Amino acid sequence: FTEYVAIVTLSFRAGERLVVLTKTSSDWWWAELRGVCGYVPSSYLQPSDPGKEEEDPWQDEEYFGNYGTLRLHREMLSDRPRTEAYRQVILTNSPHLRGKVVMDLGCGTGIISLFCARLAQPKAVFAVEASSIAEHTKTLVRQNGCEEVVTVFQCRAEELSLPSRVDVLVSEWMGNCLLFEFMVESVLQSRDRWLKEGGMMWPSGATVCLVPCQAGSYYAETMCFWEQLYGLDFTALQPLAQMEFFSRPRFSHLLQPEDCLATPCDVINLDMLSLQVTDLEELNGQFIFAVEKAGMFHGFTSWFRVQFQNLDRDGTTLELDTGPYSEPTHWKQTLFMLDHPVPLVGGETVSGNILLHRNPVWRRHMTITIQWSISSTEDAENCQVQTKSFPMWR
Ligand SMILES: C[S@@+](CC[C@H](N)C(=O)[O-])C[C@H]1O[C@@H](n2cnc3c(N)ncnc32)[C@H](O)[C@@H]1O
């Protein structure tokens, strides 16, 4: 007999107050709303204790606190492919940047603004930064003799007041799986407020890429490890290992090209001039992978590419690629492990879709749901659809 367990979920809207009856697991809580009980995803709730100040859904204190220290800036500036890509964009476009007004949103240490001032002759660069690193950015601008051109605004982009609109809005806003941290929302709001009609966004486009892959060493470290230890059977811990290591994405995964089981697919394409903040709530993509070689299907790996259109519309578009076939960047790639590996053979197809669902409460977070099925040419009828959701992180 197979035992089926019906999961009763509770529907609710943003802003409604639920009573949490049992914190059943870390991901699902049993709650009540207007006399109806059901399970709710814990990551969609935040405490509403009337005596206590509610937590900021953007977690800005922690977010800008981190960018106020050197650790992250050191990591970003050490990432040559990333930083060089922006330098090349400025250099290639320098003739067209002459006399233009540029906004560098989230300038950090000011590296992109300094590239603009040194490699091109813009009229002005507005370097906007909310974290306390901005105090030092002002010094760096002065020390590098760029104070005539670069003005640092220490504030959130949302609270900015500028002397004029801008011709170019440049920003390095990308996070893991492209959108994590959702700094892109600030970029879109600034575009709507400050970019001149016909102005340029850098990046001008962004793409999320996906591939089914092997992850043999990670599987061995996290799952096979719990087989035999010192002659003893430890397999009872494997379900726990699955929960602990496979239920969330693995950041900083370096996918070896030989572990790709198919040619990667572009699943989501964003045009930075037309993208709307509301589009960010749910982004959906489809994929069909033709398996090219036999291997163990441990999961999917994702990464992104961003494009920089030339200011001369006929000029070459530059691209920063964070995938396994390019030099690694500090983002590396993101691995989504299946609960159980599946052996694949050449000729099979893995098809399905991916959904990036922004957390309605915690605005810097999202859940990634991948739905897939495997079919072989001989038995095309008999393919089961599988689904797995990965909170990133709340
Ligand atoms: C990924 S870092 C890039 C830093 C720098 N542009 C570089 O390339 O090294 C993003 C920066 O944007 C800042 N930032 C994020 N959201 C912002 C906002 N809404 N207003 C102002 N600054 C913001 C962060 O504090 C952080 O320093």
Of 148, 172, 196, which one is at a domain's C-terminal end? 172
| φ and ψ of 301, to 5 deg | -120, 140
pLDDT tens digits, 312-365: 989 999 999 999 999 999 999 999 999 999 999 999 999 999 999 999 999 999
User: Measured at the alpha carbon of residue 48, what is the angle toward residues 47 and 50, in degrees to the nearest 5?
Assistant: 140
Domain membership flag for residue 69: yes
Domain membership flag for residue 344: yes
Q: Is the pLDDT of residue 269 over 70?
A: yes
Domain membership flag for residue 198: no
Estimate the share of the chain in helix, then strand, then coil, as percent rounded to the nearest 5: 25, 35, 40
DSSP symbols for 47-113? ---TTSPPPPTT-HHHHHHHHTSHHHHHHHHH-HHHHHHHHHHHHHTHHHHTT-EEEEET-TTTHHH
Domain membership flag for residue 177: no
Burial of 170-196, coded b for 16+ CB within 10 Å and e otherwise, reads bbbbbbbbbbbbbbbbbbbebbeebbe
* CA of residue 156 to ligand 1 center, whole Å: 9
Q: Rounded to an integer, what distance in angstroms lies between the CA atom of residue 11 and that of residue 4?
A: 22
pLDDT at residue 5, as a whole number:
40
Is the minimum distance from the CB of 248 to ligand 1 under 6 angstroms?
no
Residues 157, 273: one domain? Answer: no
Closest atom of ligand 1 to CA, residue 158:
19
Domain membership flag for residue 190: no
Q: Is the pLDDT of residue 41 over 90?
A: no
Is the minimum distance from the CB of 174 to ligand 1 under 6 angstroms?
no
Q: Is the pLDDT of residue 34 over 80?
A: no
Residues annotated as part of the active site: 172, 181
pLDDT tens digits, 130-180: 999 999 999 999 999 999 999 999 999 999 999 999 999 999 999 999 999
The rounded Cα 22 to chain-centroid distance in angstroms is: 32
**Domain coverage including residue 127:** 56-172
Structure tokens that stand for 99 in this block: 């006399």
pLDDT tens digits, 94-136: 999 999 999 999 999 999 999 999 999 999 999 999 999 999 9
> Is the dihedral angle over the CA atoms 369, 394, 250, 324 positive or is it negative?
positive
* CA of residue 75 to ligand 1 center, whole Å: 14
Q: Rounded to an integer, what distance in angstroms lies between the CA atom of residue 134 and that of residue 372?
A: 45
Listed residue (347, 394, 345, 346) closest to 368, CA to CA:
394
Alpha helices by DSSP H, listed for 252-390, are: none
Structure tokens that stand for 93 in this block: 């476009």
Q: Quick check: 124 and 153 in contact, CB under 8 A?
A: no
Q: Quick check: 282 and 358 in contact, CB under 8 A?
A: yes
* CA of residue 168 to ligand 1 center, whole Å: 17
Q: Rounded to an integer, what distance in angstroms lies between the CA atom of residue 269 and that of residue 104?
A: 23
Domain membership flag for residue 41: yes
Domain count for the chain, please give it. 3
Residues 277, 311: one domain? Answer: yes
Is the minimum distance from the CB of 170 to ligand 1 under 6 angstroms?
no
DSSP symbols for 1-29? --------B----TT---EEEE--SSSEE
Is the minimum distance from the CB of 72 to ligand 1 under 6 angstroms?
no
pLDDT tens digits, 195-224: 999 999 999 999 999 999 999 999 999 999
Q: Are strands 295-308 and 205-213 parallel, antiparallel or unpaired?
A: antiparallel
Is the minimum distance from the CB of 321 to ligand 1 under 6 angstroms?
no
Q: Is 194 in a helix, a strand, or coil?
A: helix
* CA of residue 174 to ligand 1 center, whole Å: 10
Atom 12 of ligand 1: nearest residue by CA position? 106
Say which CATH number the domain at 3 has: 2.30.30.40
280: Cα within 13 Å, side-chain hemisphere: 24
Domain membership flag for residue 194: no
Q: Mean pLDDT, to the nearest integer, of 19-48?
A: 81
Closest atom of ligand 1 to CA, residue 173:
1
The complex's ipTM works out to 1.00
